[in-house]
Amino acid sequence: MYVAVKGGEKAIDNAHQWLDEKRRGDVSIKELTLEQIREQLPLAVNRVMAEGSLFDPDLAALAIKQSSGDLIEAIFLIRAYRTTLARFGMTQPIKTENMACIRRISATFKDAPGGQILGPTFDYTHRLLDFQLAADGERGNLEPADTPVAEQMPHITDYLKKEGIIQSEPVTGTQPKDLTREPLELPAARALRLQALTRGDEGFILGMAYSTQRGYGRNHPFVGELRVGQVEVEMDIPELGFAIEIGEIEVTECETVNQFTGSKTEPPQFTRGYGLTFGHNERKAISMALVDRALRWDELGEDNEGVPAQDQEFVLYHSDNIQATGFLEHIKLPHYVDFQSELELIRKLRTEALAKVDTLPEDAS
Amino acid sequence: MNDYNFGYLDEQTKRMIRRAILKGLAIPGYQVPFASREMPMPYGWGTGGVQVSAATLIPEDTFKVIDQGADDTTNAISIRKFFEKTSGIDVTETTSQATVIQTRHRIPETPLTEDQILVYQVPIPEPLRFLEPSEVETRKMHALEEYGLMHVKLYEDISRHGAIATSYAYPVKIEGRYIMDPSPIPKFDNPKMEMAAIQLFGAGREQRIYALPPYTQVVSLDFEDYPFEASKADHACNICGAENTYLDEVIIDDAGGRIFVCSDTDFCANNQTAGEGKPQ
């Protein structure tokens, strides 16, 4: 009897129960706690917060645990939760010059007010497996630094701005649209593009940025400055009539200085790319800055080279990994109605084509 | 379940979606951009249809979900369960009892009435997408009613294959104005689109909603000498014996033996009861 699609309901329940078992793994091994994930896998937590567009390390840790470490799945859980939250309003722009930096480097100046602060970084580590970690090696804590980090850390690009050799960013004074509350319509303004980039898939943004470095829309980036640390978030409270601090978040900010020899509309000056992500995520912030810069070709009067990184429709429509993964994986769903219609069509076309060719025998089927 | 609003979405979001639906109904076939939300199921798995259903359903409704014509396919079950959980709504597998029907890839065989709403899940709402990848361009083409490219494509099909080589998601023209993607229903279902029920189309990932009011004119594109033909497998259903329903082909043994059965499981079941003794 025909049973191919029967019994789906029970199968789904069983599949989900099996998934729960797989996630737990060997029950003789202690269960992972959310605190462990939050404290010991902070970079995974950061990525989930950044691409989930929700700053909440505890929820991100829960999502990572629930998704068995599949970060795109974790991001999806966060997004689906986030979408049910009410939007209270808009905070004031964060002031990254007041950031409590744990890391701040410039690749364009050897030194600058505030200094170069290396901070916790994989840079310059030798990528050798540390077997001491496997043997449960606890380490001592670092001594505090002799000099405290400056409370105010001016932006490196401000120095170039004083000299007038880097383009200044116009203050539009308009409230940017919220990508999560309004449909994306093209062409998208820069504020909207940056929103899409910061929540875009890290791998995709990295690949796009890399393509510009390899010649598909080259824009000669220097890391003018990269900084990581805590910033205060302030919000205007209508009942109070002034802004109060509602919390602190960790962000990574990257400003690139891009070479530029002038164009039809602009005198010779450096240009900028900008990247900002939740948490400590330098790869993403730098990639974002490069792609941002590539997407600015039109407003800077550059030629469209027809490369992917310059095409905002291409970049913005394909950077969201939740959209991409959903659509990609939906081809696992049944498609037998459509396939059936294709079967009939191809059989019909073949019959007609074969009938025309006398020398070939009739299709046996 | 009290943690979420009736039908999952908050009332403000529903209002936004309803406005898009009303606009869609006012301009049949026009794709209305809407601020699609992340739903707790993946994009591409019916999020557009789910959002449209969530905005359409009221507590008195009876809801039916089909995928490939069947109520018991895995994703149909998943969506039906979602609404049972988040709205506590009545559900049914019987087409005639449902007030709202969400579908993927099929139109039920039982004719729908004026009291019903059919909600389609749409993967790619843009009928011109595979002819022109840019959304900016395709919107312009719709605005200017510049559909030459589509006719050239159909013509090229004929010159290459001797027939229009599109068997599902077959493009239609609405009231002589917009070319519309009917979603990936088999072209067998196209003629049914001129119906008494309201038809709503939701594309979540692509952030588009479009709609057809009852009795809207829906014309499948063709040429005078190559008229549109709603085709199906040249068989009767092996289970209920129906001769005018869309059929799934099912391989039943290692030798490749196959039978044909109605893809609309509710219709097939009713037909079996109605016509006992039909051939197996």
Q: How far is it, in rounded angstroms, from Cα B251 to Cα B238? A: 13
- Beta bridge partners of residue B120, listed in sequence order: B103, B201
On the question of pLDDT at A5 being above 60, the answer is: no
The mean of the pLDDT values for chain B is 93
For the stretch A142-176, pLDDT in tens is 888 777 788 888 899 998 888 888 988 888 888 88
On the question of pLDDT at A207 being above 70, the answer is: yes
Nearest-by-CA chain A residue for B70: A5
In sequence order, the 6+-apart residues with CB closer than 8 A to the CB of A282 are A121, A226, A228, A252, A254
Number of domains in chain A: 2
Minimum mean pLDDT range among A106-115, B184-193, B194-203: A106-115
Minimum mean pLDDT range among A15-29, A350-364, B60-74: A350-364
- Domain check: are A76 and A112 in the same one? no
Q: How far is it, in rounded angstroms, from Cα A189 to Cα A167? A: 18
Q: How far is it, in rounded angstroms, from Cα B75 to Cα B66? A: 9
Q: Are strands B32-33 and B62-67 parallel, antiparallel or unpaired?
A: unpaired
- Higher pLDDT among residues A84 and A68, named by residue: A68
Q: What is the pLDDT of residue B232?
A: 85
Q: Do A327 and B165 touch (CB under 8 A)?
A: no
On the question of pLDDT at A361 being above 80, the answer is: no
- Domain check: are A48 and A102 in the same one? no
- Higher pLDDT among residues A260 and A109, named by residue: A109
Q: How far is it, in rounded angstroms, from Cα A300 to Cα A262? A: 9
Any domain includes A162: yes
Interface check A159 vs B, CB under 8 A: no
On the question of pLDDT at A233 being above 60, the answer is: yes
Q: What is the pLDDT of residue A87?
A: 85
Q: What is the pLDDT of residue A302?
A: 85
Amino acid identity of A41? L
Which among A181, A185, A349 is the nearest to B161, CB-wise? A349
**Beta strands of chain B (E only): which ranges?**
32-33, 62-67, 90-91, 100-104, 117-121, 172-174, 178-180, 198-203, 208-212, 218-220, 247-251, 258-262
Q: What is the pLDDT of residue A172?
A: 83
- Domain check: are A76 and A21 in the same one? yes
Q: Which among A1, A5, A178 is the top mutation candidate for probing chain B, defined by the most B β-carbons within 10 Å of its own β-carbon?
A: A5
Which among A325, A326, A341 is the nearest to B186, CB-wise? A341
- Domain check: are A151 and A39 in the same one? no
Q: Are strands B100-104 and B117-121 parallel, antiparallel or unpaired?
A: parallel
Across the range A329-341, mean pLDDT stands at: 90
- Active-site residues of B, by number, are 29, 237, 240, 262, 268
Across the range A193-208, mean pLDDT stands at: 97
Q: Do B42 and A317 touch (CB under 8 A)?
A: no
Structural contact between residues B118 and B107, judged by C-beta atoms closer than 8 angstroms = yes
Q: Do A337 and B263 touch (CB under 8 A)?
A: yes
The rounded percent of chain B whose pLDDT value lies above 90 is: 84
> Which one of A82, A110, A132 terminates a domain?
A82
| H helix runs in chain A, sequence order | 8-24, 34-40, 42-52, 57-66, 71-82, 131-134, 156-162, 190-198, 202-213, 282-295, 312-318, 321-329, 336-356
On the question of pLDDT at A285 being above 80, the answer is: yes
On the question of pLDDT at A308 being above 90, the answer is: yes
Q: Do B72 and A333 touch (CB under 8 A)?
A: no
Q: Which H or E element spans position A245?
A: strand A242-258
- Domain check: are A111 and A153 in the same one? yes
Q: How far is B99 from chain A (nearest CA, A)?
A: 23
Any domain includes A153: yes
- Domain check: are A157 and A247 in the same one? yes
Q: What is the pLDDT of residue B119?
A: 98
Structural contact between residues A292 and A275, judged by C-beta atoms closer than 8 angstroms = yes
Any domain includes A88: no
Across the range B163-180, mean pLDDT stands at: 95
Any domain includes A311: yes
On the question of pLDDT at A239 being above 60, the answer is: yes
- Domain check: are A194 and A254 in the same one? yes
For the stretch B85-114, pLDDT in tens is 999 999 999 999 999 999 999 999 999 999
On the question of pLDDT at A338 being above 60, the answer is: yes
The mean of the pLDDT values for chain A is 90
- Domain check: are A231 and A267 in the same one? yes
Any domain includes A295: yes
Quickly count: other Cβ atoms within 10 Å of residue A262's Cβ.
Answer: 10
What phi, psi does B163 have (nearest 5°)?
-160, 165
Structural contact between residues B17 and A182, judged by C-beta atoms closer than 8 angstroms = no
- Domain check: are A202 and A266 in the same one? yes
- Domain check: are A210 and A290 in the same one? yes
- Higher pLDDT among residues A66 and B279, named by residue: A66
On the question of pLDDT at B239 being above 50, the answer is: yes
On the question of pLDDT at B26 being above 70, the answer is: yes
On the question of pLDDT at A266 being above 80, the answer is: no
Structural contact between residues A70 and B42, judged by C-beta atoms closer than 8 angstroms = no
Q: Roughly how many angstroms between the first and final C-alpha of chain A, as a whole number? A: 24
Q: What is the pLDDT of residue A359?
A: 56
Any domain includes A278: yes
- Domain check: are A239 and A105 in the same one? yes
- Higher pLDDT among residues A270 and B277, named by residue: A270
In sequence order, the 6+-apart residues with CB closer than 8 A to the CB of A62 are A34
Domain residue limits at A42? 9-82
Q: In whole angstroms, what separates CA A218 from the centre of its chain?
A: 21
Nearest-by-CA chain B residue for A179: B35
The rounded percent of chain A whose pLDDT value lies above 70 is: 94
Q: How far is it, in rounded angstroms, from Cα A237 to Cα A233? A: 13
Is the backbone peptide bond immediately before A187 cis, with ω within 30 degrees of 0? Answer: yes
**Site of tokens 């029950």:** A27
pLDDT band at A1 (very low <50, low <70, confident <90, very high): very low
Any domain includes A304: yes
Q: Do A79 and B38 touch (CB under 8 A)?
A: yes
Any domain includes A337: no
Minimum mean pLDDT range among A71-75, A263-267, B115-119: A263-267
On the question of pLDDT at B280 being above 50, the answer is: no
Interface check A14 vs B, CB under 8 A: no
pLDDT band at B246 (very low <50, low <70, confident <90, very high): very high
- Domain check: are A78 and A109 in the same one? no
Q: Are strands A100-105 and A242-258 parallel, antiparallel or unpaired?
A: unpaired
